[in-house]
Every structure is written in structure tokens, then in C-alpha cells.
Amino acid sequence: MKSKFSSILILIVLSMAFQISAQHRGDLLNFQGIDYVISEGYSSLSIGNALTSANGNLQTMYYNPAGLVGLQKFQMSVGYSSHSLIWRENQRYRPNRQFATLSFYLDGLYIPDPKNNNKWDYEVFQEDTNYHVEVPPYGLDEYSKEAADWQKEKKNSNWNQIVLGVPVNLFNRSWTVAGAVNRLPIFDYDRNDTYLTPHISTDQYNDIPPRVVGEQDSVRMNWYRFERMREGDILTFRTAIATELFTNFDVGLGFKYLNGKSDDKLNLNKIGYFDLMGGYNQYKFSYDTSYTQDVGTSKYKGFGLSFGASYRLEKISIGINVDLPWTIKREWEYTEEHDGQKTVLKGTNKVKIGGSYAAGISIYPHDKLTMRLALRKNDYSANSYSFAIADSTHRPWVDQNVFAAAIEYRPFSWLQLTGNYEAFGEVFVPDGNGNDAQGPASSVYSLGVSFWAYHSRIDFQFRRKVLKYSDIYFSNTNYNYFQRDILTVNYSFLF
């Protein structure tokens, strides 16, 4: 058994760097967190994708470089942000037709005594007066803190951007040139207190055991606690140039270079195992210990191009933008420790990100009021992947469709109020989802206020993202909740 278990661990380690995205039973380290950097991160710096059709705004370089046209004077902006993140999960196990009481163990309603190792569950029930099963909570919101099995919180604060923009005259034409350095934090966390292998209730991991129906049938199901963590910073360097090509028709070109590093960690701790025997509800549980930890770093690099155009009228403006496909390279190096034995693993993975297409419209019904709408499609299903070691089990990202709406109200020359809403699907598909081409929906709300005084502008914005989704199996449902709050302060010099 020990030899077989060691072989399983070696396979886990070799595939460690090649599972992609999502949560599921417990995906291993790859590009988790990068999807936030490339698709959401810049929205935390402003009102987001709704700026696709904006003009004369320094922040438009992130969404449509053509929107830089209209910048009248040199501007410089510096920003600071504070992130607060929450992850939590509520696993609800159900009795199944063959193992009616197995859910008591996995749901934490019954804590077995080590003295009962390798005993039949029904024998323990008959002989041990401490066989006590807790009553599960009822009437709670499955995604609430009160119902959660665990909750993880993380906070981080740092500068997030330095942006410069200036209008210039070259070749008898007016141009606007801008550059930015952005610091975007990368966070990822996942935990599964009932990582089961083989999994008794799904065939998605290619390890579903045969049915245990005869007296000679038996399956050993191992029980682990899984935890994956990633934390780091991604620096992006951006430049953009824009000009009015024809009357009221602007075009722009943008460049971006991504460079960063993250500290990665993965733990797989064995709790014990179940021996599932032939017959109805016949099984034994035994505690067992084994510990695997992978600790190391990932380094990221990427370069991309974008093209934008904008058409301006008195009461309306329309903008479009295209981000060309680009490649992100991830160089990873990990030290794996298994029960005191260490091994160093390293390699390089690449993902070629599909193109991104956006269109937006801004309406100016009043000189104090602006309304903006935008749609964006991130063609992530066109991604292609290159792994240091071939892996046939990874799950590719799915397309991401983004809807954005914003309103800006400026009651006074020195004050502006903004509100923004975005809705989009995540890049992963949970287990048991009926649509394998669409990720769970996230909602983002933000409110902001801006003040002008003495050639300066200061912006405050609060942004909240909420994601709820569930992994569904025959044996259980895992209710997952994620929340990200961002408070941003930007100070701009208006010369």
C-alpha cells in the first residue's frame, strides 16, 4: 500500500503545475490569479470598462487608447489602493443509497475516536456510547458566514498606479501620448477539507471506483485536506498614443508589458482513509498521516498590443477596442517535501490569451450628466497552452462576457459623483455545472466621488465584487463565496 500511495503522490507532484483555473476538488498551481490581473485589475483604478467610449480621460488608456484625444494639458496621476478579500466554503454532504452514514464523517457531524480505527462503522455505533452525531444547521443562507465550514481573509494596501499624459504636436498633427506603471496584486486561495481520492461520486477526475456490491469487493478511499495559496505583485508598463484621424474620429494604439512574481504554496495533508466493503453501508474508517507541501515561486512575463477608435458627436460618443492575442509565460520552481523528503521541480508554462473585443457608448443628455454602457468579450476559449510536461487533465478557460454601465453626475464644477456596475462570468466552470462553456456570474458595484481644486483632482472609489457558485456532486454540494473590496484614492496634477 505504501508503494502505491507513493506512486500516487509522484503523479500529483508531476501534474502540480499544469492544472488551470477553477476550484473543483482541488486544482493545482498554474495561472490562478492572472485572470484578475488581465481582465479585472484595471477596473479597480477607475470606473472600469464603461470608459471604452470616454474621451479626454487619462484612464481610458486601459480600455481604449483613442479616448486620450481631448486631453488638453499635461496630467500626472498617482494612486493608492487597499484590498480586502474573503473566501469561504460550506460543504454539505448527503447520505447516499449505499453508504448511508458516510456523510456524518465528511460533513463533520461525527468525529471518530482513534481507538476505533479499522472497525466497522456499525460496530462502533453499537459499542461506543460516544458515537454522537451533531444536528446539522438548518435555515441558514448556504453562502453565509454562519453556514461556512471555514473563512479566509486577506488584506493588502500599496500604491497602484503612476500615469502620465501629455498632448504634443508632431508632423503637423496633434497627438496625445500617455504612459503608466501599475502595480496589481495577485491573490489566490482555495481549500477543500474533504479532498477524496478516488472520488466516490463523480467521474470528472477519471478515478471513480467500481461499485462495491459483492462480498469480495473493496475500495480504499483516501481523505485529505487540500490548501492552495498564491500571493504576489504584477507590474504592468503601458504606453499609448492617440490622434484625431478625421474630424471627430480618433484612433489610438496601446502597448503593455507584464512582469511579476508570486509566492506559491500547496499543502496536501492526509486525514485518513475509508475501506469500503461489499454490502450495504459496510465500511471502516482509520486515521492515517501523510504530508505533502510544495513551496516556491512563479515569475510572469507578457507583452500585448491594443487598437482603439472613437467617434464623437455633441451628445454621444462611440468607442471600440481590440486587444490582440498575446502570450503570458510562467516560470516556476518549487521545493516539494513529502514526509521529510525534499525534491526540487522547475519548468515553464505558457498560455496564449485569445483576443478581446469591446464596444461602448456614452450619452450626454445634460452638461452635468453622463451615462455610459459597454460590452466586452474576452475570447478565452481560443487560448492555447504549452506545458513543461504534457497534461491531458487541465481545464481550459472559458469565454468571458462583460457588461458595464456607469453614470457620472457633476452638480458643481468642483464635484463629481460616479456609480458603476459590471457583470461578467468567471473563466472557470464549477464541477457539476450544466453549461461547460460558461463560468459562474460575478457582480461588481462601485461608487466614487471626485473633487477639483487648484489644478488638482482627487478621486475616491469604493468597489465590491461578489461571487457565489457551487460545485455539485452526487454525494455533496460545495457552496463557495468570494468577496473583494477595494478602496482607491487617486491624486492628479492638472497643469
Q: 49: Cβ–Cβ under 8 A, 6 or more apart, which residues?
A: 43, 63, 358, 360, 374, 376, 402, 404, 422
Tens digits of residue pLDDT in 266-300:
999 999 999 988 777 889 999 999 999 999 999 99
pLDDT (0 to 100) of residue 20: 32
Q: Determine the average pLDDT of the residues in 4-24.
A: 39
Tens digits of residue pLDDT in 301-360:
999 999 999 999 999 999 999 999 999 999 999 999 998 899 999 999 999 999 999 999
pLDDT (0 to 100) of residue 18: 32
pLDDT (0 to 100) of residue 13: 38
Percentage of the chain exceeding pLDDT 70: 92
pLDDT (0 to 100) of residue 4: 37
Tens digits of residue pLDDT in 107-146:
999 999 999 999 999 999 998 888 999 998 889 999 999 9
59 compared with 212, residue with greater pLDDT = 59
Shortest CA distance to 165 belongs to which of 51, 48, 254, 235? Answer: 254
Sequence length of the chain is 495
pLDDT (0 to 100) of residue 149: 95
pLDDT (0 to 100) of residue 6: 38
147 compared with 9, residue with greater pLDDT = 147
Q: In 10 A of CB 320, how many CB atoms?
A: 17
In degrees, rounded to 5, the angle at the alpha carbon of residue 317 between the alpha carbons of residues 316 and 321 is 155
Amino acid at 350: K
Alpha carbon separation from 345 to 74, 238, 254 (Å, rounded): 49, 33, 37
Q: Is 29 helix (H, G, I), strand (E, B) or coil?
A: coil
Q: Is 70 helix (H, G, I), strand (E, B) or coil?
A: coil
pTM summary value: 0.90
Percentage of the chain exceeding pLDDT 90: 75
Alpha carbon separation from 190 to 149, 152, 378 (Å, rounded): 13, 9, 24
Alpha carbon separation from 438 to 29, 393, 394, 435 (Å, rounded): 22, 19, 17, 6
Q: Average model confidence (pLDDT) for the chain?
A: 90
pLDDT (0 to 100) of residue 265: 96
Does pLDDT of 40 surpass 80? yes
213 pLDDT tier (thresholds 50, 70, 90): low
Q: Is 163:58 a contact under the CB 8 Å cutoff?
A: yes
Shortest CA distance to 408 belongs to which of 360, 446, 457? Answer: 446
Tens digits of residue pLDDT in 427-442:
999 988 888 899 999 9
Does pLDDT of 487 surpass 90? yes
Does pLDDT of 44 surpass 80? no
247 pLDDT tier (thresholds 50, 70, 90): very high
Shortest CA distance to 17 belongs to which of 262, 271, 383, 354? Answer: 262
Q: CATH number of the domain at 2-494, please?
A: 2.40.160.60
Q: Determine the average pLDDT of the residues in 405-424.
A: 96
Looking at the DSSP bridge assignments, the partners of residue 258 are 236, 302
98 pLDDT tier (thresholds 50, 70, 90): confident
277 compared with 245, residue with greater pLDDT = 245
Does pLDDT of 11 surpass 60? no
Radius of gyration of the chain from its Cα atoms, rounded to whole angstroms: 26
Query: What are the b/e assignments for 392-428, b being 16+ CB within 10 Å?
Result: eebbbbbbbebebbbebebeeeeebebebbbebbbbb
pLDDT (0 to 100) of residue 99: 83
pLDDT (0 to 100) of residue 340: 87
Does pLDDT of 179 surpass 70? yes
Query: For the chain, which residues make up each domain, given as ranges?
Result: 2-494
pLDDT (0 to 100) of residue 392: 60
Shortest CA distance to 241 belongs to which of 71, 378, 456? Answer: 71
Shortest CA distance to 492 belongs to which of 77, 179, 68, 73? Answer: 77
207 pLDDT tier (thresholds 50, 70, 90): low
User: How far apart are the C-alpha atoms of 60 and 43, rounded to whole Å?
Assistant: 11
Does pLDDT of 29 surpass 50? yes
